[in-house]
Amino acid sequence: MTDLRIEIGRRPVVDGVSFAVPDGARVGIIGESGSGKSLTALAILGLLPDGARASGSVRWNGREILGLPDRELARLRGDDIGMVFQEPRTALNPIRTVGRQIGESVRIHERVSRREALRRAVTEAERVALPDPERIVSRYPHQLSGGQRQRVAIAMALACRPRLLIADEPTTALDVTIQAGVLALLRTLVQDAGMSLVFITHDLAVLAQVATHAVVLEHGRVVEQGGVADLLRAPSSPVTRALLRDATATLWHPERPQASVSDAGARAVADESAFPAASGGVVDDPPDGMTDSPPPAEAPGASETERTP
Ligand SMILES: Nc1ncnc2c1ncn2[C@@H]1O[C@H](COP(=O)(O)OP(=O)(O)OP(=O)(O)O)[C@@H](O)[C@H]1O
Ligand SMILES: [Mg+2]
């Protein structure tokens, strides 16, 4: 992406943003609320809100994709670029089982029957470490915990086997412990598949758990970018230093009182044991009772809308 500019009305909201996402890199875009993170990501996907005008250049596979017609952008989103947003509820259809929704994502990418897609949904559910995948695919989104819903959203995004995943604050709506599990999952999946990641957050501690590179935005401009370890060790902009101070509370570990924040952050990049919760795997099991609740009655002939609570 080179010199991306976005205006809404006459107001410039993103102003000359340039960065690259090398193959396999995990780039974290960080900045305060309103700094232009989401718009920058949405511009890659051609999903800017009405009234927003983008200029500059966004290249994918050597090809200019800024301003491509909707049909081609839609194909790109189905095939090459997946996305996960902050609030999984918005990505999920409340009246369809999660299996059907994951299966539909599979079908965007591959010509398989509905039945086969449903079978694949179980595998995809397994891949994102959803508990009891065979059963969970017949559930509706509201019957899942927040962390599980986000895992479903990730499974949907990954079912298309994208080469780039864009995740806009995918864990901000989750509790801290659940957040760590989802972050660890995201990082592992992206790493194992050799995918690239653009990850948006306002929290440097979160960024350090996931990203290899960071782009720091302020008022729509890049104030600093580089490798995460370097950025944590020697932040050059006041914005980054402030973000680092904010992250202190998260990174500080009572058992390591001697560690400075930048030490802890730099170590976190190389060694995930700095975040014990992050290596714990699935931590967002729903409270007892939730897992054991029966699946919704499959009333023959009932339409899906009638099955909602
Ligand atoms: N649909 C819209 N209409 C008008 N202004 C908008 C719209 N979307 C975003 N903006 C403005 O553009 C600027 C950048 O917004 P953006 O959503 O990219 O910020 P952000 O960094 O993602 O913030 P947050 O952390 O709160 O999600 C903000 O000043 C915002 O008010
Ligand atoms: Mg945003």
Cα 127 from chain centre: 16
Q: CA triplet 146, 129, 148: central angle to 5 degrees? A: 10
Pocket, ligand 1, Cβ cutoff 6 A:
8, 13, 31, 33-39, 49, 202
302 pLDDT more than 70: no
The set of residues, in sequence order, having a beta carbon less than 8 Å from that of 14 and lying 6+ positions away, is 4, 5, 6, 36, 39, 40, 43, 54, 220
pLDDT of 298 reads: 40
Q: Which amino acid makes up residue 128?
A: V
Beta strands 81-84 and 63-64, pairing class: unpaired
Sign for the CA dihedral angle at 91, 97, 103, 108 comes to negative
Instruction: Quote the CA–CA distance of 125 and 144 in Å, as a whole number.
Output: 13
Instruction: Quote the CA–CA distance of 63 and 211 in Å, as a whole number.
Output: 25
**How do residues 175-201 score in pLDDT, each as one tens digit?**
888 899 999 999 999 999 999 999 999
Task: Count the Cβ atoms, other than its own, within 10 Å of residue 164.
Answer: 21
Q: Which residues pair with 195 in a beta bridge?
A: none
**How do residues 198-214 score in pLDDT, each as one tens digit?**
999 999 999 999 999 99
Ligand index nearest the alpha carbon of residue 85: 2
Backbone phi, psi, residue 218, to 5°: -145, 130
SS3 assignment, position 20: coil
| Cα R_g (the chain), whole angstroms | 20
pLDDT of 268 reads: 40
Percent of the chain past pLDDT 90, that is, above it, reads 69
> DSSP secondary structure string, 239-257?
HHHHHHHHHHHHH--TT-T
Segment 144-172 shows an average pLDDT of 94
140 — pLDDT class (breaks 50, 70, 90) = very high
pLDDT of 176 reads: 85
Ligand 1 atom closest to the CA of 42, numbered from 1: 18
Instruction: Quote the CA–CA distance of 254 and 261 in Å, as a whole number.
Output: 12
Ligand 1 atom closest to the CA of 202, numbered from 1: 25
Do you know the residue count of the chain?
309
